[in-house]
Amino acid sequence: MRRATTHRHEDPLTRETPQDPPVTSAPASWSDAPSRDALQLIAEGVTQLAGFGVAAISAVREDGKMEVMAVAGSDAARVQLQGRRTPVDRLTGELEKADDWGLLRFVPHERLDPSAGEDWGWVPDIDPIDTADAWHPLDMLVAPLYDDDGALRGSLAIDLPVDGRRPGRGQRAVLNQYAEQARRAVLVALERERLAEQVRMADAARRIVRTATAQLSLDRIVADSREAVVEGFRAAGMWLQTFDRDDHGGARGEIYSSDGSHVHLTPELITIAEGAARLAWERQQVSVVAPDREFGPTITPEQGEVVLAFLREIGVESLLFTPLGAGPECLGNLVLTRAAGAPEWTEAEATAALDIGHDLGRAILNARIFEREHELVEELQELDAYKGQLIATVAHELKNPLTSVMGHLEMLESSPDLSGTTRTSLNAMDRGARRMVRVIDDLLLLSKVGDPDDTVIAAPVDLARIVDDVVDLTMVAAKQKQLDVTVTLPDEPAYALGDHDELDRVAANLVSNAVKYTRAEGAVRIGVERVGNDVLLTVADEGIGISQDDLLRLGTEFFRSSNPEAVAQPGTGLGLAIVRRIVDRHGGQIEIESELGRGSTFRVWLPAADTGS
């Protein structure tokens, strides 16, 4: 058997030889098994029922090439053709010479381009029979498959009639039915592929969003999203570039690579990338840079050549360039790379990349906000520490001379030569000095409980006993106002874990405030109870209450309520600040309910001590 000059291959259907190649089918690019199987069944139906030795079904890919997806009838043809890609315009050029046979197009060999066999990849090695309608090895019978909008989406190619003749009307009718089946199958397969691609990209986007938005540093955003990005986009690598925080000539943004390696971009490349990203974000589009593609509107041809030269240096074939941003602001760009031989970037990947650009942009913005907030917190902590040191220093400096003043007042008060007016003045001075001592003591305690280095030495403290002692000390003032004080304590000790003196101060401040701010003949309710793993202290009164605006600032150092009735009562505004700091450093929680004119309820939750009982 002779070989044709157009790379003909022995056909096992027309001549069996021991040298025939084994059945090996190159895998199609579709991972959708049902679609692939459906196309294969149609092709096999043509060979088994329509009287032809070979049938091949192709689909148009996004790069404008026709890819063979199913081959039936000949193992040699399958080996040669499966997965082969041919420019679509090569087929459409031949169809212009074809005879119209319904859905079929027939191009006799005398009209066919002599190089067609090179393009189609396989030509049977047969001798035409001696009849007027004999089938020639270079005859082409193909059904172009169009969608409802008239776009070419695939083809059904048929070859090697079993009877050696060109098909008659009856055989053409059967082939037209298979062509319609192939058309529907190809459209379904392409749609399934498109949906599968969208699902794949959506899954990659979800993984990226799930990991990136949970991070509060750019290094972690890149590190945690790398796997999802590289796998989801089938990329060889990636890097992420952030821009300046402002447009006032600050330092250039940082570049974060997927593997932690340093990506060195020249100043020219950085300028190109920033300009392209800002324009791409404004237009809401991504760009592909590859040797065989035109440069998009976001990059000039001159800039594109600079980028291509850089890609050649680092061994990259193409890149997908995606702007990152949030709202109107472009914050950076994401670059995904592919090496030579990798598939071309698809429209679905471009769409998903832009969505991810939004998600990563928000993650970057959140990271920057967190970084700035972290800096502000550090500044506030430093300021608070300085304030605490200042308060402690001032309080210590005031206490020493004030102690001397009070000592001399006591000496003067014991003198028998003092007149009534002088003694009255000394008493007023003594009351003022004692009030100043209380303020200084509060300042020193506030400084102590606010010092993070001064930790609590925790021990079991019977909170019920502390409350009982505090109530005894305040009963004189309560009786003077004829208050109804109700105390509810458990039968057993209620041990909280903490410092005895500090918890005593919490109870004393809350109970004394309740007595001080409750009007005459009002009621005060105090209770201690064990609730789960906590000890709960409740102090409720029927006093003047606190407005909602004041509640927001309650517990702030030196804050006094705007209520005139509260202002009329003596105080420094440090009592509740001390309570809050003590509760916080004990790992507890304070809850406040209040209504202006109807009283307040304070609940303090403290960790209970495990006494082993």
Q: Is residue 122 part of a domain?
A: yes
Q: Dump pLDDT digits (tens) for 350-371.
A: 888 888 888 888 888 887 787 7
How far is residue 157's CA from residue 56's CA, in Å, rounded to a whole number? 5
What are the residues whose beta carbons fall under 8 Å from the beta carbon of 36, sequence distance 6 or more?
A: 28, 30, 69, 70, 189
Is 90 exposed, middle or buried, given 0-12, 13-18 or 19+ CB atoms closer than 10 A?
Answer: middle
- Residue 19 — very low, low, confident or very high, per pLDDT cuts 50/70/90? very low
Same domain, 234 and 347: yes
> What is the CATH classification number for the domain harbouring 438?
1.10.287.130
User: What average pLDDT does range 522-532 have in this prediction?
Assistant: 93
Q: Which residue has the higher pLDDT, 357 or 31?
A: 357
Same domain, 435 and 531: no
> What is the CATH classification number for the domain harbouring 358?
3.30.450.40
User: Which residues constitute the domain of residue 306?
Assistant: 199-368
Q: Which residue has the higher pLDDT, 262 or 371?
A: 371
Mean pLDDT of the chain: 79
Q: Which helix (H) or strand (E) holds 38?
A: helix 33-49
Q: Dump pLDDT digits (tens) for 583-593.
A: 998 999 999 89
495 SS3 class: strand
- Residue 526 — very low, low, confident or very high, per pLDDT cuts 50/70/90? very high
Q: Dump pLDDT digits (tens) for 465-517.
A: 999 999 999 898 899 999 999 999 998 889 999 999 999 999 998 999 899 88
Same domain, 23 and 102: yes
Same domain, 237 and 349: yes
Q: For residue 338, what are the CA distances in angstroms to 12, 197, 232?
A: 40, 18, 13
Is residue 453 pLDDT above 60, yes or no? Answer: yes
Is residue 88 pLDDT above 50, yes or no? Answer: yes
> What is the CATH classification number for the domain harbouring 568?
3.30.565.10
Domain C-terminal end among 428, 449, 470:
449
For a pLDDT cut of 90, what percent of the chain falls above it? 27
Q: Is residue 234 part of a domain?
A: yes
Same domain, 132 and 118: yes
Same domain, 423 and 352: no
User: What six digits make up the tokens of 605?
Assistant: 């939750």
pLDDT of residue 390: 66
> What is the side-by-side strand order in the sheet with 599-607?
484-488, 523-531, 534-541, 599-607, 589-595
| Angle between helix 575-585 and helix 420-449 axes, rounded to 10 deg | 30
User: What six digits make up the tokens of 524?
Assistant: 């005060």
Q: Is residue 454 part of a domain?
A: no
Q: Dump pLDDT digits (tens) for 199-238.
A: 666 666 666 665 655 556 667 777 777 777 787 788 888 8
Same domain, 391 and 411: yes
pLDDT of residue 247: 41
Q: Is residue 613 part of a domain?
A: no
pLDDT of residue 436: 77
Is residue 79 pLDDT above 70, yes or no? Answer: yes
User: What six digits make up the tokens of 268?
Assistant: 């020219």
Same domain, 128 and 249: no
Same domain, 341 and 418: no
Is residue 3 pLDDT above 60, yes or no? Answer: no
pLDDT of residue 256: 66
Same domain, 120 and 210: no
How far is residue 337's CA from residue 110's CA, in Å, rounded to a whole number? 46
User: What six digits make up the tokens of 365?
Assistant: 């913005």
Is 5 exposed, middle or buried, given 0-12, 13-18 or 19+ CB atoms closer than 10 A?
Answer: exposed
Q: Is residue 353 part of a domain?
A: yes
Is residue 152 pLDDT above 80, yes or no? Answer: yes
Q: Which residue has the higher pLDDT, 320 or 392?
A: 320
Domain count along the chain:
4
Nearest partner of 117 among 225, 203, 8, judged by Cα: 8
Q: Is residue 577 part of a domain?
A: yes
pLDDT of residue 18: 30
Q: Is residue 1 part of a domain?
A: no
| Cα angle value 279/280/282 (rounded, 5°) | 65
pLDDT of residue 550: 74
Domain C-terminal end among 429, 449, 469:
449
pLDDT of residue 144: 94
SS3 string, 542-594, reads CECCCCHHHHHHCCCCCCCCCCHHHHCCCCCCCHHHHHHHHHHHCCCEEEEEE
- Residue 127 — very low, low, confident or very high, per pLDDT cuts 50/70/90? confident
Same domain, 597 and 559: yes
Q: Which residue has the higher pLDDT, 95 or 199?
A: 95
- Residue 253 — very low, low, confident or very high, per pLDDT cuts 50/70/90? low
Q: Which residue has the higher pLDDT, 196 or 15?
A: 196
Domain C-terminal end among 139, 174, 195:
195
Q: Is residue 612 part of a domain?
A: no
Same domain, 35 and 169: yes
Q: Which residue has the higher pLDDT, 189 or 255?
A: 189
Q: Dump pLDDT digits (tens) for 566-585.
A: 544 555 667 788 888 899 98
pLDDT of residue 254: 60
What are the residues whose beta carbons fall under 8 Å from the beta carbon of 371, sequence distance 6 or more?
A: 216, 217
Residue pair 515/502 in contact (Cβ under 8 Å)? The answer is: no
